[in-house]
Protein backbone atom coordinates (compact mmCIF):
# COMPACT_ATOMS: atom_id res chain seq x y z
CA UNK A 1 0.00 0.00 0.00
CA UNK A 2 1.40 3.40 -0.89
CA UNK A 3 1.95 5.80 1.97
CA UNK A 4 -0.16 8.95 2.02
CA UNK A 5 1.81 12.19 2.33
CA UNK A 6 0.56 13.65 5.60
CA UNK A 7 0.29 17.04 7.22
CA UNK A 8 2.49 17.03 10.32
CA UNK A 9 3.31 20.60 11.36
CA UNK A 10 0.93 22.66 13.43
CA UNK A 11 1.49 25.61 11.08
CA UNK A 12 0.12 23.58 8.15
CA UNK A 13 -3.06 22.74 10.05
CA UNK A 14 -3.44 26.38 11.11
CA UNK A 15 -2.97 27.58 7.52
CA UNK A 16 -5.86 25.36 6.38
CA UNK A 17 -7.97 26.72 9.23
CA UNK A 18 -7.19 30.36 8.40
CA UNK A 19 -7.14 30.41 4.61
CA UNK A 20 -8.83 27.15 3.63
CA UNK A 21 -12.34 26.38 2.50
CA UNK A 22 -14.66 23.87 4.15
CA UNK A 23 -17.61 21.64 3.26
CA UNK A 24 -19.43 19.22 5.56
CA UNK A 25 -21.64 16.17 5.59
CA UNK A 26 -23.25 14.65 8.68
CA UNK A 27 -20.24 12.28 8.97
CA UNK A 28 -17.24 14.35 7.86
CA UNK A 29 -15.91 17.86 7.37
CA UNK A 30 -13.34 18.54 4.65
CA UNK A 31 -11.12 21.62 4.78
CA UNK A 32 -8.75 22.28 1.90
CA UNK A 33 -6.16 24.74 0.72
CA UNK A 34 -4.50 24.98 -2.71
CA UNK A 35 -0.70 24.77 -2.58
CA UNK A 36 2.08 24.85 -5.14
CA UNK A 37 3.49 21.50 -3.96
CA UNK A 38 3.75 18.63 -6.45
CA UNK A 39 1.85 16.30 -4.11
CA UNK A 40 -1.31 16.40 -2.02
CA UNK A 41 -0.94 16.11 1.74
CA UNK A 42 -3.63 14.70 3.98
CA UNK A 43 -4.41 15.43 7.63
CA UNK A 44 -6.93 13.50 9.70
CA UNK A 45 -8.68 14.63 12.85
CA UNK A 46 -10.63 12.14 14.94
CA UNK A 47 -11.97 13.88 18.06
CA UNK A 48 -12.79 12.08 21.28
CA UNK A 49 -16.49 12.48 20.52
CA UNK A 50 -16.06 9.40 18.27
CA UNK A 51 -15.36 7.17 21.26
CA UNK A 52 -12.32 5.51 22.75
CA UNK A 53 -8.91 5.06 21.14
CA UNK A 54 -9.91 1.81 19.45
CA UNK A 55 -12.90 3.47 17.78
CA UNK A 56 -10.89 6.54 16.71
CA UNK A 57 -8.10 4.38 15.28
CA UNK A 58 -10.63 2.29 13.33
CA UNK A 59 -12.09 5.46 11.78
CA UNK A 60 -8.58 6.73 10.92
CA UNK A 61 -7.65 3.44 9.24
CA UNK A 62 -10.85 3.48 7.18
CA UNK A 63 -10.38 7.11 6.14
CA UNK A 64 -6.73 6.52 5.13
CA UNK A 65 -7.74 3.51 3.00
CA UNK A 66 -10.57 5.42 1.34
CA UNK A 67 -8.35 8.42 0.60
CA UNK A 68 -5.55 6.18 -0.73
CA UNK A 69 -8.05 4.73 -3.24
CA UNK A 70 -8.99 8.22 -4.43
CA UNK A 71 -5.50 9.73 -4.71
CA UNK A 72 -4.60 10.46 -8.32
CA UNK A 73 -8.04 9.35 -9.47
CA UNK A 74 -10.38 11.81 -7.71
CA UNK A 75 -7.84 13.96 -5.87
CA UNK A 76 -5.32 15.87 -7.98
CA UNK A 77 -1.89 17.17 -6.91
CA UNK A 78 -1.25 20.46 -5.14
CA UNK A 79 -3.67 20.39 -2.20
CA UNK A 80 -3.52 20.29 1.58
CA UNK A 81 -6.60 18.45 2.85
CA UNK A 82 -7.86 18.11 6.41
CA UNK A 83 -10.57 15.53 6.96
CA UNK A 84 -12.37 15.86 10.30
CA UNK A 85 -14.55 13.01 11.50
CA UNK A 86 -17.78 13.99 13.24
CA UNK A 87 -19.35 11.97 16.07
CA UNK A 88 -21.68 9.85 13.84
CA UNK A 89 -18.65 8.66 11.80
CA UNK A 90 -17.75 6.33 14.66
CA UNK A 91 -20.80 4.18 13.89
CA UNK A 92 -20.67 4.55 10.09
CA UNK A 93 -19.79 1.69 7.79
CA UNK A 94 -16.91 1.71 5.33
CA UNK A 95 -19.25 2.35 2.41
CA UNK A 96 -21.02 5.20 4.23
CA UNK A 97 -17.68 6.90 4.90
CA UNK A 98 -16.71 6.39 1.25
CA UNK A 99 -19.96 7.96 0.08
CA UNK A 100 -19.40 10.94 2.41
CA UNK A 101 -15.87 11.46 1.04
CA UNK A 102 -17.14 11.27 -2.54
CA UNK A 103 -19.88 13.81 -1.78
CA UNK A 104 -17.32 16.17 -0.28
CA UNK A 105 -14.95 15.78 -3.23
CA UNK A 106 -17.79 16.43 -5.68
CA UNK A 107 -18.68 19.65 -3.87
CA UNK A 108 -15.09 20.88 -3.45
CA UNK A 109 -13.59 20.95 -6.98
CA UNK A 110 -10.42 19.17 -5.84
CA UNK A 111 -10.33 16.98 -8.94
CA UNK A 112 -7.47 16.80 -11.33
Query: Which residues touch 13 (CB under 8 Å, ≥6 apart)?
Result: 7, 43, 82
The verdict on residue 63 lying in a domain is yes
- The predicted-structure confidence for 33-54, as pLDDT tens digits, reads as follows 999 999 999 999 999 999 999 9
pTM of the model: 0.91
CATH of the domain at 59: 3.30.230.10
Identify the CA nearest to 81 among candidates 54, 45, 27.
45
- The predicted-structure confidence for 47-104, as pLDDT tens digits, reads as follows 999 999 999 999 999 999 999 999 878 888 999 999 999 999 999 999 999 999 999 9
The verdict on residue 112 lying in a domain is no
Q: What range does the domain containing 41 cover?
A: 10-106
CA distance 89 to 84: 10
The verdict on residue 1 lying in a domain is no
Amino acid sequence: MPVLPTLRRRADFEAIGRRGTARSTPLLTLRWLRTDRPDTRIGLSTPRALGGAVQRNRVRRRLRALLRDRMGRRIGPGWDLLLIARAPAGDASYSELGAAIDALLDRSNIGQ
